[in-house]
Structure 1
Amino acid sequence: MYGETIHNTKLLCVTEALRWRYVALLCLHSNGDYLDTPDDEICIALRITDQEWAETKSAFIKRGLLNADGSIYGWEKRQYISDIKDPTAAERQKRYRDNKRNDRNASVTSRLPESDTDTDISTTTVVDKAKGKRAAIEKPDGVEEKVWDSFKVLRKTKRAPITQLAMDGIAREARLAGIDLNQALTLCCERSWQGFEAKWVKPNSSNQTGRQMTAAEKYVQQRDAMRANDERTITGSATRVA
C-alpha cells in the first residue's frame, strides 16, 4: 500500500464502497490473485455479485483507475525496479498464481462429502478412528423392540452415545441385580436412568423361597400382575357384551 493512495483524486471521486474494492484489487494484484483470475473468483474475494463487479470495473475504467483491459492503471510505476527489469518475474508470478489456485482447488476437494461407498456398513458402536464417527449399535438379544427404542431416545436426550462398553456394563449390573437386560433397560427408561447399577435396586421384600426379592424383581412382578388383571378385565367385559 502506498501513501499517495489517500490523496488520489481519482479515488476520492468514487464512493467509499468503491474505494474499498479498489484497495482490495491492489491487494489481490500484489498477491498475484488478480491478473488471469476468473471474474467469479474476484467476486468471491470482494464479496460482491457479478453485476456489482461489472459496475465496479466500469466505474474504475471511467475514472482511470483501471485500464480498458481491466488491469490496474499505473501498477508498473509503483513496483520495485528489480521486479520490472527481472525477466523471470512474470514467470515466477505465474507459478505463484498457479500454486495458489491449486491450493484453493485442493481445499474445496477436501471438503466434498464422502461417497456412498465410504459410509459405514457395520452396526457396531466402536468409534471409527479414521472418520471419527459412531455407528448405531444393534439391539441386544432378548431386549424388546419398544424397550430398545425408548432406551436409544433416552441416551440421545442425555447426549450419551450407546457404546458396547456401556451395554456390557449394564448387562453385568443386571446379572448382579438378578434381572435380565430387558428388565434393566425398562427400569432405565421408566426412571430416566442413563445407566444401571445393581445397588440402585436394593432388596426390600421376600418371595416364597425365602430369598429377598430386589426392587426390580418386585416391579416386574407387579407390572406382570397388572397386565394379567387388565387382560382379565377386558375378557370379562367381552363375555358380558356377548
Structure 2
Amino acid sequence: MPRRGHSVQYTTSPLLASKTPVWRSRFIVAAIALGFVVLAGRAAYVQVIGNDFFQRQGAVRFARTLDMPANRGRIFDRNGLLLASSVIAPSIWAIPEDIERDDPDVKAKLKLVAKLLEMPQKDFDKKLEDEDKTFVWIKRQVDAPIAKQIADLNIKGIYQRKEYKRQYPNGESAAHVVGFTNVEDRGQEGIELQFDRELAGRAGSRRVIKDRLGRVVEGVGETVPPLDGKDIQLSVDSKV
C-alpha cells in the first residue's frame, strides 16, 4: 500500500508500472477545474453582462441598410417627344477578401470579367489587391446584357447593385437644353440641373441582415419604398 505524500503505483508489472507524484495529479485536476471556471465565467459574461454589446457588434457587422434607388423622371418636349429617360444599369462591386484568386478556375473567370467590362487587366487586378477591404466598386452602370454574363459566371466575391443610367435619344442635338447627369444620377447642366430635385425623386431604404457572402438573409425593420421622380414637359420643340 502506497505511503501518503509519495507516489501512486497503478500496476505491479515492471513494464507497465507508472508512478505519478500526488502533487502533479492534484495540479492537473486543479488546472482542469480552473479552465471550466474560466469558460463558465466567459459564457456568463457573453450571455448576460455583455449581451447588449455583442448584439450591437453583430448588428454593425451583419445588418445593412440597402438603398433602393428611385427612377429619375423623364423629360419631354412640347410635342411629347422623349428627350431623356433612365434605364436599369447594374453596377459591379466586390469583396476582395472573399475572392479565391489562387484558384485557376476563378483566375480564368476574373480575366473574362475584365474583358467583358473592357478594363485593362492591370487596372482590374489593382482593385482586388487590398484584401482588407469589404467593399470596392469594379465598374458603375454596366449594360444589362454584360451584367448578366458576369452574374452567370457565379464568382464568389463579385456582386451587383441595381442602379440607373440616363439615356438621351436625340443625342447632342438637345444637349444644350436638356443637359446631363453624373454617375450618381444627379443633374449637372441644363434642365437636368435646374429641375434636379423634381426629377430625382427620393431613394428608398431597406434594413436587412446579410450573411458573410453578402446575400440577404432576412429583412428587419421598416422598408421605405422609393419615390420615383416627376416627368417634365418642356415648352420647346426639339425639332426646331
Higher relative contact order (CA 8 A, sep 6+): 2
Larger Rg: 1
Is the pair's TM-score, using the shorter chain for normalization, greater than 0.5?
A: no
- What TM-score does the superposition give when structure 2 sets the normalisation length? 0.24
Calculate the TM-score normalised by the size of structure 1: 0.24
